[in-house]
């Protein structure tokens, strides 16, 4: 690693530390001023999301799960990050529309909703027509929407283990009832990163740890469509799957 590379890495680490401090403090003006300073160093909107916003989200999610943040600090930080993600989306360079439609859903809490929004924004910037349902939508409504809209893919972004049973139920029903046959389902988010192999066990076609990897997985899944059998057997529940969704 060269000296210049080490300097860039150190600067990014310092920027992440500063953004975390500002976001949990709730200081919106200081946060915007800081991001403006970062942009003066040549950061594009997509770089801000990739190198600053997403890693900061992950840190906040982890600290919240480990009871290292007060509820006030969690609310401050997620709302400030929502503001930054909204501003970044307006600056994304938009690729030409590719004619593909994706339905995006996520877990029900504020953190998962924020991650799902970032994922949806990135997919849209890459040319997809996105319908972001967020969290809290019943599976029967999602099944009806899939049958009516017939999206080319479904993306499920979830961070909490408590989301896994609902996701499993949705995938099992889509497969067994042959709702939009051949449609890939891609899962992303913390619970799938913490339990390797869980996404495959509950019937997903691909998994990714972050929104940027989700876009790559969607592209690969749509480039290699799979024709599923008319009858799909639900796999046996492994110990890993039981522990992950417990």
* Structural domain includes residue 95: no
Residues 119 and 41 in one domain: no
- For the chain, where are the alpha helices, taking DSSP H only? 3-25, 28-39, 45-47, 54-65, 71-90, 110-125, 139-149, 164-176, 190-194, 198-201, 211-223, 239-245
Q: Are residues 153 and 199 in the same domain?
A: yes
Check: CB of residue 120 under 8 Å from CB of residue 130.
yes
Residue 224 and residue 126 share a domain: yes
Let me know whether 231 and 113 are in one domain. yes
Which residues lie closer than 8 Å to 99 by C-beta, 6 or more apart?
Answer: none
| pLDDT in the model for residue 47 | 93
DSSP 161: G
**What is the pLDDT at residue 154?**
95
What CATH number is associated with residue 238? 3.40.50.280
Domain that holds residue 163: 101-245
Indicate the pTM of the whole model.
Answer: 0.81
List per-block mean pLDDT (blocks of 10 residues) for the chain, which spans 246 residues. 45 93 97 94 92 94 92 96 96 94 89 90 95 92 94 86 84 89 86 76 83 87 58 38 41
Answer with the one of 90, 111, 131 that is the final residue of a domain. Answer: 90
What gap in Å lies between CA 68 and CA 152, rounded to an integer? 40
CATH number at residue 36: 1.10.1240.10
């Amino acid at each position: 690693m060269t000296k210049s590379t080490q300097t860039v890495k150190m600067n990014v680490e310092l920027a992440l530390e500063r953004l975390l401090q500002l976001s949990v403090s709730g200081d919106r003006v200081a946060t915007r001023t800081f991001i403006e300073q970062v942009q003066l160093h040549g950061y594009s909107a997509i770089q801000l999301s990739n190198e600053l916003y997403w890693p900061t989200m992950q840190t906040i999610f982890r600290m919240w799960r480990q009871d290292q943040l007060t509820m006030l600090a969690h609310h401050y930080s997620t709302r400030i990050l929502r503001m930054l993600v909204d501003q970044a989306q307006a600056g994304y360079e938009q690729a030409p529309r590719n004619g593909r439609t994706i339905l995006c859903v996520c877990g029900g809490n504020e953190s998962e909703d924020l991650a799902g929004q970032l994922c949806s924004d990135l997919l849209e910037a890459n040319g997809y027509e996105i319908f972001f349902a967020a969290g809290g939508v019943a599976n029967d409504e999602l099944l009806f929407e899939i049958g009516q809209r017939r999206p080319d893919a479904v993306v499920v972004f979830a961070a909490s283990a408590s989301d896994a049973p609902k996701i499993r139920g949705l995938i099992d029903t889509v497969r067994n009832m042959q709702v939009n046959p051949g449609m890939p389902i891609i899962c992303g988010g913390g619970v799938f990163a913490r339990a390797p192999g869980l996404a495959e066990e509950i019937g997903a076609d691909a998994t990714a740890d972050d929104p940027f990897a989700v876009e790559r997985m969607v592209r690969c899944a749509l480039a290699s469509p799979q024709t599923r059998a008319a009858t799909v057997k639900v796999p046996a529940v492994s110990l890993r799957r039981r522990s992950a969704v417990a």
